[in-house]
Each structure stands twice: as structure tokens, then as C-alpha cells.
């Protein structure tokens, strides 16, 4: 009799465990579905806000916008002043207000710069190119700026700022790199 009772109790425990497990799996699926719906809603909400703001995207003070964006990414106010710009590879060279830091803005990534440097060049073209991107020191800080850390309309405002400050029309730019050296 005790053996029969032990078997019934064990079967009941297994049966209720299976019921609880099926219930938990159903709840997990429901929670995953709910999470997916919230993500889709948030993405759609951002798209609506961006579309509304994109029609009115303008930058009245390009230098102020560039300084604000760089300050957010670098962590301190740079008080930038434009020194010069280069066309190939595209870069905008600025100095901090105190002159202690040189900042280079460029749509060219560090990997692309390394690729350009490793490409064999003849000696005359080495001396002809004075672009500071090609001679960055080893300790240069590199920051990537995109919509994630540059603001909701970063990719819409960046081409406007770039064309005003450099005079170059560019295709849609989604990110820019900041090279910071002392």
C-alpha cells in the first residue's frame, strides 16, 4: 500500500510539474509577444517623431552644433574654431578654444585610414598629401558619432553642417569620426 501511495504521489508531482512547466512556457511566449509589440510601438513612435522633425531640420549655428555634438561625445566643452578643411580624404580640422587640442572631423573611419596608409604610394605623392588624417599620432583618441550618441536628428543635421562649414556637398552621412590629439 505504501508503494502504491508513493507511486501516486510521485505521478501527481510529475503531472503538476508538467502542468506548471506548460503554464510557464505559455506565459514566456505571451511576455515575449508583449515585448515585441512594445519594441515595434517604440520604433514606430520614433519614426513618426523623426518624420515630423525631419521636415523642419535646420541648423542656424553650424559651428555651435558641431561644438555641442563634439562636447557630448568627448565629455568636455571644446570651444572649437575651424582651422582648415581637406577634400581628399574629407576632413575638417579644428582647434580647441585654448589651442591645446587638435580635433579632426571626418566621415572616413579609422579602418579606412589604415587601408589608405597601407596602400603603396610613390614618394612624390607622400610629400604632396598634407592631410593630417594620414599622419595621426599613435595616442590619438577616436570617437564615433552617430544617431546613438549625437542626437535624434544627427544624420539629418550632419550633412547641413558639413556643407556649410566645408563647402562640400556630401551624400547622406550617418556617422562621423572625431580624431582628438594634443
Q: What's the burial of 156, exposed, middle or buried (CB within 10 Å: 0-12/13-18/19+)? A: buried
Continuous segment of H or E residues that includes residue 85: strand 81-86
The predicted structure's pLDDT at residue 80: 83
Q: Are 97 and 80 in contact (CB under 8 A)?
A: yes
Q: Can you give the pTM of this predicted structure?
A: 0.67
Please write the tens of the pLDDT for every residue from 13-63: 898 888 888 888 888 889 989 988 988 888 788 778 877 777 777 888 888
Amino acid at each position: 500500500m505504501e508503494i502504491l501511495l508513493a507511486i501516486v504521489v510521485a505521478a501527481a508531482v510529475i503531472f503538476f510539474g508538467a502542468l506548471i512547466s506548460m503554464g510557464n512556457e505559455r506565459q514566456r511566449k505571451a511576455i515575449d509577444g508583449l515585448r515585441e509589440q512594445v519594441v515595434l510601438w517604440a520604433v514606430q513612435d520614433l519614426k513618426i517623431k523623426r518624420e515630423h522633425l525631419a521636415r523642419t531640420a535646420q541648423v542656424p549655428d553650424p559651428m555651435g552644433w558641431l561644438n555641442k555634438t563634439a562636447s557630448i561625445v568627448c565629455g568636455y566643452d571644446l570651444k572649437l574654431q575651424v582651422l582648415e578643411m581637406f577634400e581628399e580624404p574629407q576632413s575638417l580640422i579644428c582647434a580647441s578654444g585654448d589651442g591645446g587640442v587638435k580635433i579632426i572631423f571626418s566621415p572616413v573611419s579609422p579602418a579606412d585610414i589604415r587601408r589608405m596608409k597601407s596602400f603603396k604610394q610613390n614618394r612624390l605623392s607622400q610629400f604632396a598629401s598634407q592631410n593630417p588624417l594620414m599622419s595621426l599620432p599613435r595616442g590619438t583618441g577616436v570617437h564615433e558619432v552617430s544617431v546613438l550618441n549625437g542626437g535624434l536628428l544627427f544624420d539629418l543635421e550632419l550633412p547641413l553642417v558639413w556643407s556649410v562649414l566645408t563647402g562640400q556637398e556630401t551624400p547622406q552621412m550617418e556617422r562621423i569620426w572625431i580624431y582628438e590629439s594634443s
